[in-house]
Structure 1
Amino acid sequence: MKLKKIKSVIFDMDGVLIDSMPYHVKAWELAFEKYGLKINSEIIYELEGSDYKQTVKIIFERMGKKVKKQDIEFLGKEQDKIFNEIVKIKPFDGVVKLLKILEKKYDLAIVSGSNRKNVEKIVENNFKNVFKVLITGDDTNKSKPDPEPYLKALIALNIKKNEVIVIENAPLGIQSAKNANLFCIGLKTYLGDSFLNKADIILENHEKLEKYLLN
C-alpha cells in the first residue's frame, strides 16, 4: 500500500490505547473455569480483536469440542460481567499526549471488537471528544480478521484506503487491516514479532510509535 497524504489514523483499543488485555485474559479464564474448562491465556492475546462469539468458537475448536449457541452466549455474558468487575482502565504511557497532538492534524477513529457499551465508556472516561468514529463489535456482522470493521470505518470517515494508517497489536487485527488493503503498524505491547509479521512495519513501543507518526 503506497500512502498518499494521510487524513486519518485508526486505532485498535485494547492493547493499543489502553493496557486492558490482562483483564480480558483473566475474565476469560474465570468464565471458562465456571464452565468447567481451563484455557491457555496466550490464546486470548492471539485472538484479541475478535468479538466474543468468534473467541468462544475458536477456543472450543482448539479444544476439539463442539460449541452450542448457549455456550457462546453464557461465556460472552460471563466474561463481560467479570471484566467490568475487575478491570482498572489505564491508557498506556504517552497515549493521551499523542492523541492530543494527532487530533489537530487527523480524523481519529477506533476499530474494536469489544461491545459498544464498553468502548463508549472507556472513550468517555479517557479520550473524551478525541475520536470522530467508533466501530465496535456490535456494529459489524463479521469481526476481525474479516475486513468489514475497517471498511466500515473508511466509509464513516469518508476517506480512501491510501489516506489512512492503522495501529494494531495482534494478529487478527493486523490481518483485518491488511484484508481491507490498508497500511498497518504492528505495535509490540503483548506479543512478539512472529505474531505481528503481517504488518507493514513493527514498532517496539508507544515512544517509537509517537516518533513515527509525528515524523
Structure 2
Amino acid sequence: MKAIIFDMDGVLVDSMSYHAEAWDIVLKTVGVSIDKKIIYELEGANYRQVIDIILRQHGRIPTETEIQELGHKKLVLFEQIERVRPFDGISELLETLKPKYHLAVVSGSNRKTVQKTLNTFFPNTFKVVVDGEETMIGKPSPEPYLRAIERLNISKNHCLVIENAPLGIRSAKSAGLRCIAITTYLSREFLKEADSIVDNHGELGRYLEKEAGREKDKEHTNSNI
C-alpha cells in the first residue's frame, strides 16, 4: 500500500446534514419535496447529478439553466448554514499516515467547498485532490478515482480507498480499487459492496495499522525465501 484515497464529506468531515438541509430548502423553491435520506444515499454525486436524479424522480427534466441556478443557490445556502467539523480522531490519523503514504481526496463537492474545507482543517496534507468539478461525470462513475490514480502515478494495486456511501464505493470498485467503508451515516447494508466495513475512525486506524503490519510481515517472509 503506497497511497490512501479519502472521500471528504462523511469520511474526513461531518458535513452531510448541512448538505441535506441546503438541498431540501433549495429544491422546495421549485416545488420538489425530498426525504433528506436520499441526499445521504446520493453522496459522492456532483451537484449536476443530484439535481438531475431528483428532478427526474419527480417527473421533470431539468434544463441547463435550472441546474446552474439550483446548484448556485445550494452552494450559497450551504455556506450560510454549515458548521462543518472534522470527525473525532481523523486529524490525528492523517498525521500518522502522512509520512508513510501518498494521501489523496476524491470528492463530489464543488471546488470552492473542497478547497475551503481542506485548507481549513487539513492544510498541506493531500498530494492529490479531485473535486466534483474536475470530471463531468461524478461517482458512481469510475472517472473521479481513475483521475486520482493517474495524478498519483501509483498502481491501483498499491492504493486503498476510504468511502462511506454506496455511489462512492461503486466508483472505487469500478475503477479497480480496494475500498474500505465507514458507517458514519448509513448502516452496513448500504455499504456491502465495499471490501471491508468499519464502524468509526478509531476502528479505521486500527485496520490500517494491521494492514501495514501484514504487508511488513509479507515483505519479511519474501526476503527470506
TM bin, normalised by shorter chain, reads over 0.9
Matched, 1:203 2:184: no
Partner of 1:114: 109
Q: Does 1:186 align with 2:156?
A: no
Q: Does 1:77 pair with 2:109?
A: no
What is the alpha-carbon distance in structure 1 between the residues aligned to residue 206 and residue 102 of structure 2?
19
SS in 2 for 1:13: coil
Aligned residues: 210
Q: Which moved more, 1:187-196 or 1:56-65?
A: 56-65
- What CA RMSD, in Å, does the superposition of the two structures yield over aligned residues? 0.8
CA distance in 2, matches of 1:70, 1:194: 37
Select 2:41's aligned residue among 43, 46, 52: 46
**1:60 aligned onto 2:55:** yes
CA distance in 1, matches of 2:29, 2:137: 27
| 3-state SS, counterpart of residue 77 of structure 1 | helix
Q: 1:66 offset after TM fit, Å? A: 2.3
The residue number in structure 1 matching 2:149 is: 154
Report the counterpart of residue 138 of structure 2 in structure 1: 143
Q: Which runs of 5+ in 1 are unaligned?
A: 1-5
Q: Does 1:169 align with 2:167?
A: no
The reply on whether 1:97 has 2:92 as its aligned counterpart is: yes
> Which amino acid in the other structure matches residue 106 of structure 1?
Y
| Residues in 1 aligned to 2:166 and 2:192: alpha-carbon distance in whole angstroms | 8
1:203 CA drift (Å): 0.8
Alignment partners' CA distance in 2, 1:214 and 1:88? 31
**In structure 1, the residue corresponding to 2:14 is in which secondary structure?**
coil
Write the distance in 2 (CA, Å) between the matches of 1:58 and 1:65.
10
Q: 1:165 Cα shift?
A: 0.6
Opposite residue 152 of structure 2, the aligned amino acid is L
- Structure 2 residue identity aligned to 1:191: L
Percent pairwise identity = 50
Q: Structure 2 counterpart of 1:141, which letter?
A: M
Give the match for residue 3 of structure 1.
none
Which segments of 5 or more consecutive residues in structure 2 lack a partner in the other structure?
211-225
Counterpart in 1 of 2:219?
none
Q: What SS does the aligned partner of 2:85 have? A: coil
Tell me whether 1:26 sits opposite 2:48 in the alignment.
Answer: no
Query: For 1:62 and 1:205, how far apart are their aligned partners in 2?
Result: 33
Which of structures 1 and 2 has the bigger CA Rg? 2
Mapped partners of 1:207, 1:152: distance in 2: 29
Report if the CA contact (8 A) 2:138-2:144 is conserved.
Answer: yes
Per-residue CA distance 1:168-197 (angstroms, 9 max, x = gap): 000100000001010001110000111111
Q: Say which of 114, 120, 125 aligns to 2:120.
A: 125
Query: Could you tell which deviates more after superposition, 14-23 or 132-141?
Result: 132-141
